[in-house]
Amino acid sequence: MAKFFDVHPEDPQPRAISQIVQLLRSGGLIAYPTDSCYALGAQLGNKEALDRIRSIRHLDDKHHFTLVCRDFAQLGQFVNIGNDVFRSIKSVTPGSYTFILPATKEVPRRLLHPKKKTVGVRIPRHNFVQALLAELGEPLLSSTLLLPDEEDPLTQGWEIKERLDHVVDAVIESGDTGAEPTTVVDFSGGTAEVVRRGTGDPSKFE
């Protein structure tokens, strides 16, 4: 049965953050809110949680997982990013965008696109997520909480707990969460290609 955390959206309780981080470090899988919609999250090196995410969402090996980062210093450890691309990304970050970029050797191979050797990264504008990342000290392995054969992500913590109670270890609620995922921009070819339109304004990259 999943634990349920009701975290203050403006001033996240340190005790709750510590408990969630401890759960992640123990191999747990969480459903958590972001500045776009709910996502599934786990510790970066947690292979079992990665397999659980694939199972919950029915994902194949070509799916781009996302590393949710605290800041650009952390993001730069996991992706190769040139000056022009950096400027483009910095203009909308933190925010509701995911960027696909060539991965560094710091990224576990199982997270990479099998042919492109790329990975998704983002820096969210969300108080709970930022507090969690600060305590965790590393990026969060993440994937949008979009269930198979459903068009829209789940938006209510209580509903997520009801439906995923036996497949995740914790559900976090922290204020209102949208029903639209991030806008995804692929920079792996050197120029911006919008591959998913979402919460972030895609016109900035078109």
pLDDT digits (tens, 9 = 90+) for 146-188: 999 888 888 899 999 999 999 999 999 999 888 999 999 999 9
Average pLDDT over residues 78-107: 96
Tokens standing for 85? 């691309």
Query: For residues 130-150, b (16+ Cβ closer than 10 Å) or e, as one string?
Result: bbbbeebebbbbbbbbbeeee
DSSP lists the bridge partners of residue 197 as: none
Closest CA to 146 of 163, 127, 126: 163
CA dihedral 42→43→44→49, nearest 10 degrees, is -50
Topology of the domain covering 3-205: DHBP synthase (3.90.870)
At 115-145, the pLDDT tens digits run: 889 999 999 999 999 999 999 999 999 999 9
Residue matched to tokens 């009701």: 6
What is the pTM (predicted TM-score) of this model?
0.95
Tokens standing for 125? 């504008």
